[in-house]
Structure 1
Amino acid sequence: MVRPNEEVEALLQEYADLIAITGGEAFKARAYEKAARAIGGHPADVSHLDAAGLRKIPGVGRSIAEKVVEYVRTGRVAVVEEKRALIPAGVRELIAIPTLGPKRAMALYEDLHISSVDQLADAIEAEKLRDLKGFGERTEENILHGIALLRQAGGRIPLSTAMETAEEIVTGISLITGCEHCAYAGSLRRMRETVGDIDILVAARRSAPFMDALTELPSTAEVVAHGTKKTSIRTVDGVQVDLRVVRPDAWGAGMQYFTGSKAHNIRTRTIAVHLGLKLSEYGLFETEGGRRVASRSEEEVYARLGLPWIPPTLREDRGEIEAGLRGELPEVVTERDIRGDLHTHTDLTDGLTPLEEMVAAAAARGYAYYAVTDHAPNLSMERMTDEKVLAQRERVRSLDGKHHGMRLLHGTELNIGPGGEVDWPDEFLRGFDICVAAVHSHFTAGRAATTRRLVRACENPQVNIIGHPTTRLLGKRPGIDADLDEVFAACARTGTALEINAQPDRLDLGDEDILRARHHGVRFAVDTDAHSIPQLAYLRYGVGTAQRGWLTPDDVINTWPLRRLRRFLAKDGRR
C-alpha cells in the first residue's frame, strides 16, 4: 500500500528519534533525518536499488545504505530493533504527541514514570510537570494542546495515504472477471483532508469473487467481516477498507449513496419524498408501486430529482442543493485547468532535487509555466545568500522555454517576520518574477499581532502570494490565531493571492477558510510546495481542496494564461 520509499523514510526517522531519546550524538540523528527525507522524496523505488545505487541519493552514506538494504531484504534492521528494546513502548507512544519531542518524553518517563498519553494528561492536570527542569506552565499548556490534536486525529488517516491504498485496491479488483465498474466512494471521493475508512464499490452480477479477493490481498492484516453484500478488512497499515458489490444496473444509485455525505444524502432523500419517490443505494423508486425510475448513473439519479450532477467534493450540504436547483452550481476547478505550479523548491535550499531535474519533471506534466521559489536568507538554516539566488536566476533564465516551451519564473519563498517584514529590501525583490511569503516562526504570538503581521505582508508591493496561510500541520500543529477575515480583506484589497498548499499534511488553506475568503473576493494559487519530483503529483490534493471551497478556474491565478498571470503579479504595475 505504502511506497517502499515511504516505509524506509519512516524507519530512518524513527531511528533518528531513538538516537535522540537515548542521548546519541545530535549530528547523527540529523544525518538520519536528512537521509529519511531524501529517500522519501526519491523518484525511483529504493527497494530495487543496491547499496551503490542508494549511495547516489544525497545524504545517504555507506552505513545508511546498508541498513536500507537490510530492511528491504529482511523487513527489519538489527540496530533499530536494539534501540527499540532500550526504550519503553510508552515513551514511543509519547513521542507521537505534537510539541513534546523525544528528549522530553524520556525525561517524563525517567522522572515521573509516565508511559502513556492518559498518564501525561493526568500529570499535567495535577501540575506535576512544572517543577521539572525544562518544563513549566507554558510547556504544560503546549503539551495539552498537542494531546488534544493527537486525540482529535483519532483513527483518521491523511488523504494521500487513503488515496494510495484505495487506488491500489481498485486497480487490483478491476482486473477480476465480471467487474463492470470499480471505484472508491465515501469521504475519500469527497476529498476530505483526513479519512476514517475507505469505501470501495464494485458493480458486478456476482459478489463472491470480489469479497474473497479483498480478504486475500497481501496487504490484508485482518478480516473484520466477510459477507455477500459487504466485506471489511484492516490493512497492515491499520486502514479499514469496506467493499460493497451492487448490481450493474444500480451502479449510479450506489455511488451516489455511498459517496455521501450523510447531510447531503438526507437532503436528496427529502427531495425524493416530496416527489413521491424513495431513494436508496439500489435506485430511485416510485413510492406507490415500487417502479424503479433511475439508478444506472449518478447523472440519471440527480436529473430525476431536478438537479444537475453535483461534484463529489461539493456534497457536504453547504448550499450545493440550493445552487443546483437555481442552476447556479459552479464549474469547479480541475487538475486539467492548472497551467503551472507557483511554489516549488530545489536542492539549493531544503529541496531534494536539482533545478534541472525539477524543471524537466514539471514540463513532463504539461505545464505552460513553472516557478522556482527557494527559501530566502531569514530562514537561516537554509543558508541562502544574494550570490546563490542570483546564480540560480541565471540558470533559470538559461532553461526558460527549453522544455516543450514551458516558461520559467524565478521566485523566492520569503519569511514573514514577527512584525510583517520580509527578507531582502524592495529593490532586490523587484528582480524576482514572483514572491511567495509565509510564516515559519513565532506561531504563538497574540491574535492582534499575528493579524497585523499578515496584513503588513499583504500590503508589501513585492509579495504576490501568502503561502500556507495558517501554517497548520494536520494532526500536529494548529493554525495560527489571526482575524482571518481581516487578512482576507487585505488580500482582496492589495491583489495578493492566498495559497492552497497541496502538501497532504497542510492542505492550507482548508476548505472552510477558502469559502470565507472567496466571499471577500480573494484570488488563490493552488501550489504543491514540492521539495522533490514525486511531490509535484500532490497537486491533486490541492485541487480537491479548492473544489471543496467552490473555486472556479477564474478564482485560481495559476489557471490563467501567462500574460494575465504576469499582470496580476505586477500588483498594479508596482513591481
Structure 2
Amino acid sequence: MARSNDAVAALLQEYADLLTVTGGEQFKSRVYEKAARAVAGHPGDVAAVDADGLRQIPGVGASIAEKIAEYLHTGHIEAVDTLRARVPGGVLELMRIPTLGPKRAAQLHEELGVVSIDELRDAIVAGKLSGHRGFGARTAENILHGIEVLERSHGRVLLSVAAVAADEIVAALRGVRGCLRCTWAGSLRRFRETVGDVDVLAAAADGGPLMDAFTRLPMVADVLAKGSTKSSVRLRNDLQVDLRVVPLASWGAALQYFTGSKQHNVRVREIAVRAGFKLSEYGLFRVEDGSLVASETEEEVYERLGLQWVPPPLREDRGEVEAARAGSLPALVTEADIRGDLHTHTDLTDGVTPLADMVAAARRRGYEYYAVTDHAKDMPMQRMTDDKVLAQRREVRELEAAGGPVLLHGSELNIGPDGELDWPDEFLAGFDLCVASVHSHFAQPAGDLTRRLVRACENPYVTILGHPSTRLIGKRPPLDADFDAVFAAAARTGTALEINSFPDRLDLSDELILRAKRHGVRFAIDTDAHATVHLDHLRYGIGTAQRGWLTADDVVNTWPIDRLRAFIAAKRTVAAGRR
C-alpha cells in the first residue's frame, strides 16, 4: 500500500509556505519545513504510528504530531485550511510557478494586483515588473520560463508518483482469480521522467473480475469508463490509469504495442510491412493469408522481424531500431550491477537519519561500499564545521571496523560563483572522495556557469560532479551552460558525472547522458539519499541511465572497490600535476 508520508509532508511544507506568506515567524516556518523532510524520509508509514511514535520522528514535536494525527483521522488540517483562507487565491496560484517562492508571489500580488498566472505573464511582457524591488530583467525572464515549465508539466506527474501507484495496482490485480499476468506498460515502463497517465496490462480469459477489482480499488476516486477489455479510472491523486486485458496468447504483442513509444512502434511496423507482415496489439500476422506468426512474447515478435529484443527504456526512436537490426544493442546497466552509493547524507547536515542507521541500510542492501557525503561548510544553513566533519570521519572509521561495507568518507562540496570550493586542497586530500555541486547563483550568464563547472572538474579532489544541470523537474530549469564544454572537461580530467536518482532531479537527464557519453566520460548513479527510504530511489536513476544507453562499465559505482579507488587516485595524480 502507498504510504501516507508524502501527503502529510506536502501539507506540512504548504503550512510552512503559508506561514511565510502571512508574515509568520521564519523560525516556525523552518520548523515545519524540517518536519516535512523528516516525515517524507521516515521509513515507516506514519498512518501506522501512534501519537508517541510520531513524536519520535526527528523534528516532530507535540503540536506537529497533533496536526499529523488530525490529517490521518479527518483528511485535512484545520490550521492549514485557516491559513489558506487568509491568503488571496491569486497568491496561491502564483506560488505554483517554479522559481517563484511564497514571499515573491505575495509581493507581486500586492504591488501589481495580479491574481492569475496569465495576468502575471501579461504584466511581465508589458514591462510592468521594471522598477519593482527584486524583479530585474533576468528575474522576469526566469519567471516566464517557470510559467512555461509549469504549463508543459500540466497533467503530468513525476516518474516515482506513477511507479508507486502502478506497483500497488499491479500487486492488487495479480491477486485476482483468473489473472494470468499483469504489469505496467507505456511511458512508465520506458522510465520517462514524467508520466501523463499509467497503462496497466493484464492477461486473462475473462476480464470481468479484473475490471471489477480495478474499479473498486480504494485509491480510485472516479471511474471514467468500464468495459470487458478496457477500463479507465482517476485516482485520488488525480492520476489517470488505464487497464487493458488481453488473452494470454496475445501477451507479447500487446505488451510491445502498449509500451510504445509511438515513434518506436511506427519504425517497427514499417519493418513488418516491408517483410509482408501486419503488426498490431494482437500479434504479428502474414498479410497474404492472415496467419499468426508471433504474439506470445515480445522477444518472439522482435526476433521474427530480424531484430534484437529492445529494452523498453531505449524505445524512443533514437537509433535503437537500427542497432537492434545490426545486433549491436548495448547490455544496459541494471540495479544488480550497483556495488555502492557514492552520494548520501545524514542528520549531521540536512538529512533526517543518523549515520549508523544509513550505514545499516546500506549493509542490508548488500553494498560492497558506501559513501557518506554530507554538505560542506560554505552552505551556512547546514552548520558544518571542520571539527564536525573530522568527528564524523572518526565515527565512519569506527563503523567500518565493526563490519559491513567499505565506508568512504566524503563531502558534497558547494561550487561557488567563481568555481571555488569549500575547503583548500590540503583539507580536501583527507576525504576518500568528494562530490561537487552547484546550489546557488543559478542565473549567472552561460559563460560564467560553464567556467564554474569546468573549474570544479579541474580540481584534483572532485571525484563526481553532482546533479550537474541542477534542474528540479517541473520547478527549476537546467543551468544555461555549455554542457558539451563541461563534458569535455569531465572526460579530460577524469571526473565522473552524476546521475542523481532523486525523482525530482534525475540529473543528468537522458538527453544529456547521451551527449556526455559521446565525450567518453564516466558516470556515477547515486541516490543523494537524505533518509534510508531514499536509497530505494536507485531504480529511477538506473532507468534514466538505461535511457542514456549506459552499460555497467560506463558507471564507476558498478566497479570493484579497488578499481574505484584507482580511478579516484588517478584523477588526483593527473589533475594535481596540471596545476
Normalised by the length of structure 1, the TM-score is 0.98
Give the match's secondary structure for 2:423: coil
Any stretches of 5+ residues in structure 1 without a counterpart? none
Q: Deviations over 1:42-75 (max 9, x none)?
A: 1111112222211111111111111111111111
Q: Separation in 2 of the partners of 1:499 and 1:484?
A: 14
* Number of the residue aligned with 1:567: 566
* Number of the residue aligned with 2:517: 518
Give the match's secondary structure for 2:201: strand
How far is 1:134 from its partner? 4.3
Percent of aligned positions that are identical: 64
* Number of the residue aligned with 1:297: 297
Q: Does 1:320 align with 2:320?
A: yes
Pairing of 1:110-189 with structure 2 (within 5 A):
110-189=110-189
How far is 1:38 from its partner? 0.7
Pairing of 1:128-277 with structure 2 (within 5 A):
128-277=128-277
Counterpart AA for 1:475: G
* Number of the residue aligned with 2:17: 17
Q: Separation in 1 of the partners of 2:416 and 2:100?
A: 25
Aligned positions, number: 574
Q: Separation in 1 of the partners of 2:279 and 2:505?
A: 37
Q: Separation in 2 of the partners of 1:488 and 1:113?
A: 45
Q: Separation in 1 of the partners of 2:279 and 2:176?
A: 30
Any stretches of 5+ residues in structure 2 without a counterpart? none
Pairing of 1:457-468 with structure 2 (within 5 A):
457-468=456-467
Contact 2:3-2:47 within 8 A present in 1 as well: no
Counterpart AA for 1:399: L
Q: Deviations over 1:315-359 (max 9, x none)?
A: 111111111111111000000000000000001111110000000
Q: Separation in 2 of the partners of 1:300 and 1:330?
A: 19
How far is 1:385 from its partner? 0.9
Give the match's secondary structure for 1:570: helix
Q: Deviations over 1:57-116 (max 9, x none)?
A: 111111111111111111122222211222233321211111222223223333443222
Change (3 A) 1:131 1:456: closer
* Number of the residue aligned with 1:353: 353
Counterpart AA for 2:544: T
How far is 1:573 from its partner? 5.5
Q: Separation in 2 of the partners of 1:108 and 1:518?
A: 43
- Indicate the larger mover: 475-484 or 250-259: 475-484
- Indicate the larger mover: 170-179 or 211-220: 211-220
Normalised by the length of structure 2, the TM-score is 0.97
Counterpart AA for 2:489: A
Q: Separation in 1 of the partners of 2:283 and 2:224?
A: 28
* Number of the residue aligned with 1:61: 61
Contact 1:472-1:479 within 8 A present in 2 as well: yes
How far is 1:2 from its partner? 4.7
Pairing of 1:48-127 with structure 2 (within 5 A):
48-127=48-127
Give the match's secondary structure for 2:270: helix
Change (3 A) 1:445 1:137: closer
- Indicate the larger mover: 88-97 or 545-554: 88-97
Change (3 A) 1:535 1:516: same
Change (3 A) 1:4 1:492: same
Contact 1:567-1:573 within 8 A present in 2 as well: no
How far is 1:373 from its partner? 0.4
Q: Does 1:529 align with 2:523?
A: no
Q: Separation in 2 of the partners of 1:204 and 1:299?
A: 20
CA RMSD in angstroms, aligned pairs only? 1.3
Contact 2:198-2:240 within 8 A present in 1 as well: yes
Give the match's secondary structure for 2:182: strand
Q: Does 1:496 align with 2:495?
A: yes
- Indicate the larger mover: 204-213 or 183-192: 204-213
Contact 1:181-1:204 within 8 A present in 2 as well: yes
* Number of the residue aligned with 1:419: 418
Q: Separation in 2 of the partners of 1:460 and 1:121?
A: 42
Give the match's secondary structure for 1:410: strand
Q: Separation in 2 of the partners of 1:499 and 1:364?
A: 24
How far is 1:401 from its partner? 5.3
How far is 1:183 from its partner? 0.3
Contact 1:2-1:161 within 8 A present in 2 as well: no
Contact 1:272-1:305 within 8 A present in 2 as well: yes
How far is 1:130 from its partner? 2.8
Give the match's secondary structure for 2:233: strand
Q: Separation in 2 of the partners of 1:118 and 1:230?
A: 38
How far is 1:482 from its partner? 1.3
Q: Separation in 2 of the partners of 1:189 and 1:203?
A: 17
